[in-house]
Structure 1
Amino acid sequence: MSLIPARRTGRRAARRFTGRDLAVLGVLLGIPVLLDAAIVWGPTLASVMLSFTGWDGIGDIKWVGTQNYENLFTTYPQFWPAARHNLLWLAFLGLVAAPFGLLLAVLIDRGVRFSRFYQSTLYMPVVLSLAVVGFIAQLVFSRDQGALNAVIGDTGSPTDWLGDPDLNIWMVLLAAAWRHTGYVMILYLAGLKAVDPSLKEAAAIDGAGEAQTFFRIVLPTLRPVNVIVGVITVIESLRAFDIVYAVNHGRNGLELLSVLVTDNIIGEASRIGFGSAIAVVMLVVSLGFVVTYLVQELRGEKNR
């Protein structure tokens, strides 16, 4: 007889949801799911379907199979330059801007004087949209009235930083990296604050220098932040559009895949099916990185 009450008290009685609870859950979960399906996944699936058609937005939808993709990879001259520019964008943000953001985070984390001022100043570009950054780039790199030519005194035959197709991509990348560095710095600062100080003290007791402590103790601890920074960098490199469109509408050396999507869908050609094919290529590339990130995270959870 004494075992029955103990068994009953040892188990927590399963709570039954009332009709009101189910209604609240349905509203709180159902509305976001419906909005996500309508705004994100609905247009995504529609773009995938339209990429196999020759629709111009007005007439009948004509099924063309994989013809859009064949033309995209073989006969569309703007595609491969735009793809190279996106890869260059990814390499520059990943190999220059992100490490520089990590360096700034490490310096600020050491408690230098006026660290709050530096942190706020370096983060300020992040609150600006890429379109605004593009207008700022025009003010700095303009041929006739730009600040850069005025500072270096190049007035006789000023360099056309944004008009020269061999130079403008690098100038725009500098402007984009200026914004991306502050974002990366904040992420790494948050990660550095979470590093256990006892690990650094133990490394110092064992005779490790600052460089050894950072690369063998601190950097491995920042692995989750590194993965997040990597995914964000890939997304930033693929969705870059505003800054180049503000400079010269993404032409004359600043072609990007996102610009090609816009030009084909809402441009004069109005080739919605062909533009959707370019968008699907971008979707597949981005999903590859996102899926890799999710797989790594799930494996990390299992190993913990």
Structure 2
Amino acid sequence: MTAPLVALGGNGAASEVSPPARRRRLRQLGKRDRLVLGIMVGIPTLIQLVFIWLPMLASIGLSFAKWDGLTFGNIRPAGLANYNFVFNQTPAFWPAVLHNIAWLAFLAIIGTPLGLLLAVLLDQKIRGSRFYQTIFFLPVMLSVALIGIIWELIYSQDNGLLNYVLGTAGKPGAIDWYGNSDFNLWAALVAATWRHAGYIMILYLAGLKGVDPSIKEAAALDGANGRQAFFRVVFPSMAATNVIIVVITVIESLRAFDIVYVINRGQNGLELLSVFVVQYLVGETQVIGIGAAFAVVLLVISLVPITFYLTRTFSTKER
């Protein structure tokens, strides 16, 4: 038993002070609470399991098999034959890997910083900020087919806006931006960046709204200018947003498919791994096992930079 505390009252008389009250016990969940909690957790988990994890595991299994995609009874083991075809019998495989790396580098060096720059500028409470946000975010809401048509009007060899600006429209020296394999990858990257920057802008705007204004004021009182306050205080405080941005940039670059498929079905200098996945899974040359092998290779490649960045980020936080 804990002895009661003794204190002197105003007239010198001793008075007992009761021990501190015990912490209230957490209220036990009732049947209704457990049911609601189970539904809220169970349904998203079931959706993730059915539409993400099971297809991923099935793809890994099918990458070691031969299957015509019609009946499950026709599945036959193939060992490493599908991966041998991917690495050794697909001439455009390594160019596609280099194109995906170039796509990732372009978005990481140009697209994502451009979205960050737009977010910082629009966070300054300038007049018409909502209007500018809508303008820059508009490409994200457009369909890929419409984006392809818009940039076709810009890149057209005979009537394109870009060739008109260069003064070569309709002339023999006009550049075929989509048809020339020396330029079409970079033309597609500019179109992809136009869409990617608006998405990154919205995410960083949300992150900037969540930054505590007091840390900006503290940095200003310490004599930091605007650039120093942003890169040394504000940007590091958005660690959670930065993790999301990195993951999105990697995924967007490695699963890039739609724009190049609209341009020329991912051929003539626009070969990408995602194009091979679609080509062998649902395309004209349908071979399920090879398509699954391409998908697994793409999964492994995408996990490498994401895992490296997350590991470094969380280890830095622990230190």
Task: Name the TM-score, length of structure 1 as normaliser.
Answer: 0.87
The aligned residue for residue 112 of structure 2 is 98
Q: CA deviation at 1:253?
A: 0.8
Q: Does 1:76 align with 2:90?
A: yes
Which residue of structure 2 lines up, in the alignment, with residue 269 of structure 1?
Answer: 285
The runs of 5 or more residues in structure 2 that have no matched partner are 4-18
Within 5 Å, which residues of 2 pair with 1:29-40?
29-40=41-52
AA aligned opposite 2:222? D
> Would you say 1:257 and 2:292 are equivalent positions?
no
Aligned-partner Cα distance in 2 for 1:197–1:30: 38
Residue 217 of structure 2 is matched in structure 1 by 201
Question: Aligned with 2:242: secondary structure?
Answer: helix
Provide the rounded CA distance (Å) in 2 between the counterparts of 1:21 and 1:206. Answer: 49
Which one-letter code corresponds to 1:63 in the other structure? P
Select between 120-129 and 148-157 the one with higher mean Cα deviation: 148-157
Structure 1 contact 123–182 (Cα < 8 Å) conserved: yes
CA contact 1:133–1:176 (8 Å) conserved in 2: no
1:17 partner letter: G
Amino acid at match of 2:285: A
In the other structure, the counterpart of 2:14 is none
Equivalent positions of 1:101-250 (< 5 A) are 101-153=115-167, 154-157=169-172, 158-250=174-266
How much does 1:289 deviate? Answer: 4.1
DSSP 3-state at the match of 1:76: coil
Q: Higher relative CO (CA 8 A, sep ≥ 6), structure 1 or 2?
A: 1
Deviation of the 1:293 alpha carbon: 5.5
Change (3 A) 1:37 1:192: closer
Alpha-carbon distance in 2 for matches of 1:30, 1:116: 38
Distance 1:289 1:243 in 2: 23
Per residue, is there more helix in 1 or in 2?
1
CA 1:199–1:125 in 2, change beyond 3 Å: closer, same or farther? same
- Amino acid of the structure 2 residue aligned with 1:35: I
TM-score in terms of structure 2 length: 0.83
Deviation at 1:270, TM superposition (A): 1.6
Larger radius of gyration: 2
Q: State the Cα distance separating 1:63 from its structure 2 match.
A: 1.2
Superposition deviation, residue 2 in structure 1 = 12
Q: Please tell me whether the aligned partners of residues 158 and 171 of structure 2 are also in contact (alpha carbons under 8 angstroms).
A: no
- 2: distance between equivalents of 1:256 and 1:130? 17
- Give me the CA root mean square deviation: 2.8
Counterparts of 1:14-93 in structure 2 under 5 Å?
Answer: 15=28, 17-18=30-31, 21-58=33-70, 60-93=74-107
